[in-house]
Amino acid sequence: MENLQFVIIIILSPLIQGVIKKLKANFQGRVGAGILQPYYDLAKLLKKEMVFSSVTSWIFKATPFIVFTSTIVAAMLIPVITTKSSFGIMGDVIALIYIFALGRFFLALAALDAGTAFGGEGSSREMVVSILVEPMLMLCIFTVALTAGSTNIARIAESQNYIVTPSHVLALVAFLIAIIADTGRIPVDNPDTHLELTMIHEGMILEYSGRYLALIEWSHYMKQMLLFTLAIDMFFPVGIAHNTGMSGLIISSGVYSLKMLFMVSFMAVIESTRAKLRFFQLPSLLGGSFVLAVLSLLTLLMIGK
């Protein structure tokens, strides 16, 4: 059971997306689609015919499989309901960031490979955002890792005595903003639009269709749930099981569900109360978050908490 935790991410990630959209619709006074709608969308895409541009190379066709596989590998590294897993020894947060970067690199490359203006625009914007977000993620992770004495995610989740320290509060705020940016959510990006002036992630996948598009969308859902889980493991580790007993796993699953519901509600509230920022305003937001991440690390080094 402990070695199959990543299956939870694979199966439930579309549900998380559906719950976010449903909560957003309720906050905005709309009925909205059901929470299972992402599953229906993926099933529909898997049945559709694929259309390819005549200028694309093998990179365009290989990218969906690279992105999907790398996301599953990342899911295997993160503890979900228990810290005891055979993959735990490989669960290094620095390696995790680079696995995410691998998928982002090939997705941006595939967007350029299609030879469209929207693809080039989306990939260039994605690289600008990643340049600002990845150092921020690293600094937040280093702050938590220094306290836990390890960059192993399971070891970090087992250390539960540092949640309310000033350095980790600063790191948490910066990390949440990084999640919003990395998952392409308002105010950084709008996942529900295809307008030229607003789209980042959507611009890179406009040329995909059928099951290739399904793999990319499913990977995006998984990455979103993985980042939520990583935030929970690092900043809210209370409740995660440290053994493989059935009773402990059941309790841990319930606690994990509550914490995930909190993360989902937080994202829905942010997207319903904030407006989409202009792209040229993003450096100010992400730069300020980077300062918070730096301050969190400096605070830990200077006052020890």
CB-facing half-sphere around the CA of 277: CA atoms within 13 A: 16
Lowest-confidence pick of 2-11, 134-143, 198-207: 198-207
Mean per-residue pLDDT for 225-245? 85
Before 191, cis peptide (omega within 30)?
Answer: no
The string of DSSP letters for the chain reads -GGGHHHHHHHHHHHHHHHHHHHHHHHTT-----TTHHHHHHHHHHHSPP---TT--HHHHHHHHHHHHHHHHHHHHS-SSBS--TTGGG-BHHHHHHHHHHHHHHHHHHHHHTT-HHHHHHHHHHHHHHHHHHHHHHHHHHHHHHHHT-SBHHHHHH--S-TTSHHHHHHHHHHHHHHHHHTT-TTT--TT---TTT-SHHHHTTT--HHHHHHHHHHHHHHHHHHHHHHHHHH--TT-BSS--HHHHHHHHHHHHHHHHHHHHHHHHHHHH-PPPPGGGHHHHHHHHHHHHHHHHHHHHHH--
The pLDDT of residue 76 is above 80: yes
Query: How many whole angstroms separate alpha carbon 171 and alpha carbon 7?
Result: 29
Answer left, alpha or beta for residue 149, where phi above 0 means left and psi between -120 and 50 means alpha.
Answer: left
- Partner residues linked to 61 by β-bridges: none
Give pLDDT, residue 160. Answer: 59
Query: Distance between CA atoms of 136 and 142, rounded to whole angstroms?
Result: 10
**Residue 87 predicted with pLDDT over 60:** yes
Q: How many CB atoms lie within 10 A of CB 102?
A: 16
Dump pLDDT digits (tens) for 88-116.
Answer: 667 678 888 889 889 989 998 988 888 87
Other Cβ atoms within 10 Å of 22 Cβ, number: 20
pTM: 0.90
Domain definitions of the chain by residue range? 2-303
Amino acid residing at 12: L
pLDDT at 195: 61
For residue 173, give both structure tokens: 């705020």
Neighbours of 277 (CB within 10 A): 15
Q: Using the predicted structure, report yes or no on whether residue 221 has a pLDDT greater than 90.
A: yes
> pLDDT per residue over 21-69, tens digit each?
999 888 888 888 889 999 999 999 999 988 888 888 889 999 999 999 9
Mean pLDDT, range 1-25, rounded to an integer:
87
Structure tokens at 256: 């994990």
pLDDT in tens, 162-191: 557 888 889 999 999 999 888 888 788 777
**Nearest Cα to Cα of residue 228 among 194, 192, 262:** 262
In this structure, of 84-93, 223-232, 275-284, 293-302, the range with the lowest mean pLDDT score is: 84-93
pLDDT band at 223 (very low <50, low <70, confident <90, very high): very high
pLDDT above 80 (res 245): no
